[in-house]
Every structure is written in C-alpha cells, then in structure tokens.
A = this chain, B = another copy of it.
Amino acid sequence: MPTSIESLTAEIRAFRDARDWRQFHNPKELAVAITAEAGELLQHFVWQSPEQSDQRVADRRDELASEMADIAILLFELADNCEVSLPEAIRRKLARNEARYPVAKARGSNKKYNEL
C-alpha cells in the first residue's frame, strides 16, 4: 500500500511534539541538520569510482537507507513547519524542469538548461 508524504509527516510531527522539540526546530536549524546529514551520505562515496560506489550500495544498503531516512525526515518536517506542500512543490519543479529540459534537446545530455 503506497505511503503518503502527508501521513509520514504526521508521524514525524507526533514524534517531535511528544518530546517538545518544536522549539529547537526552526527553519535554519533544520536546514543545518539536513546539510550535515547530506554530508554523511556523501561521505560514503568520497574518492570512490562509479564501480566502487555501486559495490558500496550493495554492501551497505541498510546504512545508506538510514542516511536517506534522516534527510527525508528533516525535509518533511521543514516543509511542514514552513507551510510548504512538498508534493505540490515537487510537481511544480517537475513541470518547470519539463519546460527547461525539453526531451528533444536534453535527451542523453548532462548539460544545464542554460547551456543546452
């Protein structure tokens, strides 16, 4: 059964409020925590070749899943605290990227939209 961002966000909010942590979780602190967790995820891949990276994923899937969960939890809470609908923001961004990266021009290219 698919899991909605909204229901996970409600679980995250309940966890936080049971601990009275809203006071520490202002947008800046959440952005700091997200960046620090992204750094932990990145740490796994430093100096690794693409082949070694794939092997790392195979060897440490649970650990990597745990880093991804950390980022997601903080990001869902940040959106919620900022009164941002993350699903809507994602769909708006995908629509913008459709316009910026038309299939005919972007297919098979790793260039930025302003260099296509």
- A: residues with CB less than 8 A from B are 2-8, 11-12, 15, 18-21, 23-24, 26-29, 31-36, 38-50, 52-54, 56-57, 61, 64-66, 68-73, 75, 78-79, 82-94, 97-98, 101, 103, 106-110
Contact = CB atoms under 8 A, between A and B. Distances in A.
B24 A47 contact: yes
B20 A108 contact: yes
Given A32-B42, A34-B41, 13 more contacts: A8-B87, A11-B94, A23-B108, A28-B45, A33-B46, A38-B39, A57-B82, A64-B82, A64-B84, A65-B82, A65-B86, A68-B82, A69-B90
The A interface is mostly helix, strand or loop, or mixed, namely helix
B3 A5 contact: yes
